[in-house]
Amino acid sequence: MERREMAAWGSLLGFGAIFAFLVARMTDGMAVVDASAGELFAAYLAVVALATLVAAPASLIARGQGDERDRAIAARAHQNERIAYLVAVNVLLWQVIWQGAASGDGQRGLELQSPPVLFLILFAMLFLGEFVRLASIIVLYHGQRARG
């Protein structure tokens, strides 16, 4: 396994753990718990600090020796990340449109007016993009590995 692939695995597991921590902190069962602005800010700081710790080793490795194949894989992974963001934003837009159309007949779906819900959704979108990028790196390195 190549160093960048190992770094991607490490980051994927690290970001997975941070997202699990965020979800555990923000939810109770299937519902998003109510949180004050101060609590949201504390959660934001905790996630940013943990994400920085997780991302630092991988970015040090990525800055090290690499060649055109490493750059091509990174570019492809960023492209997939961008597609994931576009899909996530479009899903959110459709959710907003659907809520607008269905207003009045009992709110179902995501409560986008609630700051904790919006906070969790936006973080989930950021994590989704990162998961897609890291998974792409792992799959691309794995696919180019010679067998036998």
Partner 1 sequence: MAERPAKGRVLNSIRDWRQKAGLTQQQLGDAVGATRQTIIAIEAEKYAPSLELAFRIARRFEAPFEAVFSFDDGGESHSKSRS
Binding region for partner 1 (CB under 8 A): 2, 65-70, 143-147
* Closer to partner 1 by Cβ: residue 25 or 76: 76
Q: Which two tokens stand for residue 109?
A: 């779906």
By C-beta, is 101 or 146 nearer to partner 1?
Answer: 146
Comparing CB distances to partner 1, the nearer of 123 and 141 is: 141
Among candidate residues 89, 83, 61, the one with its CA nearest the CA of residue 135: 83
CB atoms within 10 A of CB 98: 13
> Which H or E run contains 80?
helix 68-101
Closest approach of Cβ 82 to partner 1, in Å?
22
* Distance between CA atoms of residues 77 and 72, nearest Å: 9
Kindly state the smallest distance separating residue 145's Cβ from partner 1, in Å: 7
| In the complex, minimum distance from the CB of residue 130 to partner 1, in angstroms, rounded to a whole number | 24
